[in-house]
Structure 1
Amino acid sequence: MAPPPTVILDNGAHTMKIGISSFDTLPRLVSNAIIRGKNDKRLYVADEFDDCKDFSSLFYRLPFERGLLVNWDIERTVWDRVFKHVIRLEPKESRLLVTEPCFNLPKIQDNYDQIIFEDYQFQACYRTIAPELCLFNEVGGLFGDKLGSVPDCTLIVDSGYSFTHIIPFYKGQAIAQGIRRLNVGGKLLTNQLKETVSFRAYDMMEETHIINEAKEKCCFVSMDVYKDLEICKKPFRQNSVIQEYVLPDFIHTTAGQIRHPSSNENQRQQSKDQQILMMNNERFMIPEILMRPSDIGIDQAGIPEAIVQSVSATDSSMHGLFYANIILVGGNANFPGYKERIEQDLRQLVPSEYDIRIVVPIDPVTYAWEGGDRFISQSSKSELSRTFVSRKEYLEYGSEICRKKFGSIMI
């Protein structure tokens, strides 16, 4: 008898990555929110947001708050839409591999189990954290080592929507005392850019989508902040940092775009009615918060310093191995210069006898989902039965069997 299909759901606070193992080569990226358009008054649930044409003043209802899933009414609405219209699979006839946040609260974990087994009635479920799934990929190949090899010690830096987590793994198991959480993620950066732009140019406090898009297209991580700040003081023609970002008008354009510096005067004259956002030092000072949260009053270390703290909390014999096997995942890993800056700052903090190797996967956003797919496809039936909790087991033992099988990283 063929095993039931396995739905892999990397349930991110901003974007969920979902697909069917061994069927989908890549996951479908879906907004994990209910979004209301200001002008058309329409509600967009999950993948329906792809039909939106006017992104002005959108109102978001999110199931996650401060990185924890607290509104199950919204989440159920999103899951209903996704299961029925995106993957088009009946939960009762399938298994579920779902990710949860690090340091998830026991009560919220119980809610996961109850809704998955009692409401959706999945045949079996495995709940884990996204960084753990990353380890099932060809990790050795990322570093140029022998394909199929997995380092005993691996440090995952997961910088996503709500938080940045730094997690050291030894032989696939997270070392709890070495885990560090930074209260800095993509949401904070977008909000900070909204405030900065609203103070310097236009009132953009309600334009979350537009500003988030501008952040993703224009921002980068500086290798020398003070040098770039000096460049930003120069006149427009001599300023190599400044960019003109053309805001969408939702009549002719639905997405913002960077206007090339070489645009001739005719082109500039034709676009005189367009709203131009001048992106100057915002381009690198916003992502700089990842490296120095204290710049905006957050009393925490930046990513490079937090990596050192994380490694220092492990056994001294492992330090060199952790520094030599650092993987950067999450949406913030897409910033140009992100990897190079972390490597540069680490070199100043780490003893010279240690090599530093840092890699970013081809797609750091879907890397955890890809690891989950690889885990399901390469595991035997008996291995999966030991890992997953069946609905029969849950109905007999309740959430206790889930806590026993899945484990949890507690604060």
Structure 2
Amino acid sequence: LYSQVEFADTSIIITEPYFNFSSIQESMTEILFEEYQFQSALRTNAGSLSAHHFFHTKPSELCCLVVDSGFSFTHIAPYCRSKKLKEGIRRINVGGKLLTNHLKEIISYRQLHVMDETYVINQVKEDVCYVSQHFYRDMDIAQLKGEDNTLLRDYVLPDFSTIKKGFCKPREEMVFSGKYKTSEQILRLANERFAVPEMLFHPSDIGIQEMGIPEAIVDSVQSLPEGFRERLEAELRSLVPAHLPVSVLLPANPVCYSWEGGKLLAHTPDYDEMVVTREDYEENGHLVCEDKFDI
């Protein structure tokens, strides 16, 4: 595919974090136009593309709040009529990387040294971890012995010879007394399954002095103008009296939701007015991007 793309005839949409360093923005623009020679470029945020997708599918909605939890951090970003309200954006320095690293530490302390196995443990996290709906109840279950512990999972680690990818043993094949009579290397996971994702909601539990997602949402909404705040307060269960309705949307494929938004954006009639062309850049330099892109 790479060899089939004529960059000089191609427009690119590229995402970057909110409030990205200007030096990085400038370097990115330089690479796009001077090294790859793209015909035009649009720099934006993944959250903005998600908001565009949302408003496209729900045109009657005026406001939304995007919770974008990624690899390095989580952003809370409010939008009104597809425009982000910068004063309401909140960043939490907790993302998938931190969760994986914390799981590595727990497993290394309790069972097996895996501090050098980031890729493998990241797969373990994705396969067995979940967000608890009743944290203290799950903690009680996780302390039970044998088959009474319904949360217990045995994870077979890959050896990259006969086992290419790790997997959970089926419940009926788990050994609850004694040891397995196989050469498989197995991790036994119980409260780790839900205690690790809990960091997204209560990072202070492990000494990280950051707001969790619910607190960040409250803080974001409270910083917004009255009209926006009232609208969002009517849609978030965690922020309002119980009798008010709640609307929380989880896309069918969250990973591609921003990409789908970018695809929709690229086909809007006024797309050409949003981009900076190579001609604009060659004539005016990086300043034209600062004026055009609201990052």
TM above 0.5, yes or no, is: yes
Asked whether the equivalents of residues 165 and 179 of structure 1 are also in contact (C-alpha less than 8 Å), the reply is: yes
User: Aligned to 2:257, which of 367, 379, 386?
Assistant: 367
Please report how far the alpha carbon of residue 387 of structure 1 lies from its aligned counterpart in structure 2 after TM superposition.
0.4
| Partner amino acid, structure 1, of 2:7 | P
1:114 aligned partner? 30
User: Aligned to 1:278, which of 166, 173, 188?
Assistant: 188
Please report how far the alpha carbon of residue 138 of structure 1 lies from its aligned counterpart in structure 2 after TM superposition.
4.8
2:241 aligned partner? 351
Asked whether the equivalents of residues 159 and 185 of structure 1 are also in contact (C-alpha less than 8 Å), the reply is: yes
Work out whether 1:95 is the aligned partner of 2:11.
yes
Work out whether 1:160 is the aligned partner of 2:47.
no
1:170 aligned partner? 80
Asked whether the equivalents of residues 323 and 357 of structure 1 are also in contact (C-alpha less than 8 Å), the reply is: no
Please report how far the alpha carbon of residue 270 of structure 1 lies from its aligned counterpart in structure 2 after TM superposition.
7.8
| Partner amino acid, structure 1, of 2:258 | A
Q: Which runs of 5+ in 1 are unaligned?
A: 1-81, 142-147, 327-342
TM-score, normalised relative to structure 2: 0.93
Asked whether the equivalents of residues 235 and 245 of structure 2 are also in contact (C-alpha less than 8 Å), the reply is: no
For residues 101-151 of structure 1, what are the alpha-carbon distances to aligned partners after superposition, in whole Å with 9 as ceiling and x for unaligned? 11101111111111100111101000000111112225475xxxxxx5152
1:196 aligned partner? 106
**Cα separation, 1, equivalents of 2:103 and 2:174:** 29
Higher relative contact order (Cα pairs below 8 Å, separated by 6+ residues): 2
Please report how far the alpha carbon of residue 384 of structure 1 lies from its aligned counterpart in structure 2 after TM superposition.
2.1
**Structure 1 residues 93 and 325, CA, compared in 2 at 3 Å: closer, same or farther?**
farther
**Cα separation, 1, equivalents of 2:208 and 2:111:** 25
Which has more helix, going by share of residues?
2
Q: Which runs of 5+ in 2 are unaligned?
A: none
Please report how far the alpha carbon of residue 226 of structure 1 lies from its aligned counterpart in structure 2 after TM superposition.
1.4
Note the 1:219-238 alignment, pairs <5 A: 219-238=129-148
Name segments (4+ residues, structure 1) moved above 6 Å.
none
For residues 274-319 of structure 1, what are the alpha-carbon distances to aligned partners after superposition, in whole Å with 9 as ceiling and x for unaligned? 0110011000000000000001111111101111111111123322
2:97 aligned partner? 187
Asked whether the equivalents of residues 153 and 325 of structure 1 are also in contact (C-alpha less than 8 Å), the reply is: no
Identity %: 39
Work out whether 1:293 is the aligned partner of 2:203.
yes
**Cα separation, 2, equivalents of 1:287 and 1:270:** 29
The count of aligned residue pairs is: 293
SS in 2 for 1:121: coil
User: Aligned to 1:394, which of 253, 257, 281?
Assistant: 281
Asked whether the equivalents of residues 124 and 391 of structure 1 are also in contact (C-alpha less than 8 Å), the reply is: yes
RMSD of equivalent CA atoms: 2.0
Please report how far the alpha carbon of residue 220 of structure 1 lies from its aligned counterpart in structure 2 after TM superposition.
0.6
SS in 1 for 2:13: strand
Asked whether the equivalents of residues 138 and 150 of structure 1 are also in contact (C-alpha less than 8 Å), the reply is: no
Note the 1:231-380 alignment, pairs <5 A: 231-263=141-173, 272-323=182-233, 346=238, 349-352=239-242, 354-377=244-267, 379-380=268-269
Asked whether the equivalents of residues 154 and 174 of structure 2 are also in contact (C-alpha less than 8 Å), the reply is: no
SS in 2 for 1:372: helix
SS in 1 for 2:75: strand
SS in 2 for 1:365: helix
**Cα separation, 1, equivalents of 2:169 and 2:10:** 48
Please report how far the alpha carbon of residue 91 of structure 1 lies from its aligned counterpart in structure 2 after TM superposition.
1.7
Work out whether 1:214 is the aligned partner of 2:124.
yes
Note the 1:29-108 alignment, pairs <5 A: 83-84=2-3, 88-108=4-24
For residues 345-374 of structure 1, what are the alpha-carbon distances to aligned partners after superposition, in whole Å with 9 as ceiling and x for unaligned? x2xx43346432111001101100000101
**Cα separation, 2, equivalents of 1:273 and 1:237:** 23
Please report how far the alpha carbon of residue 201 of structure 1 lies from its aligned counterpart in structure 2 after TM superposition.
0.7
**Cα separation, 2, equivalents of 1:139 and 1:405:** 22
| Partner amino acid, structure 2, of 1:128 | T
TM-score, normalised relative to structure 1: 0.68
Please report how far the alpha carbon of residue 385 of structure 1 lies from its aligned counterpart in structure 2 after TM superposition.
2.2
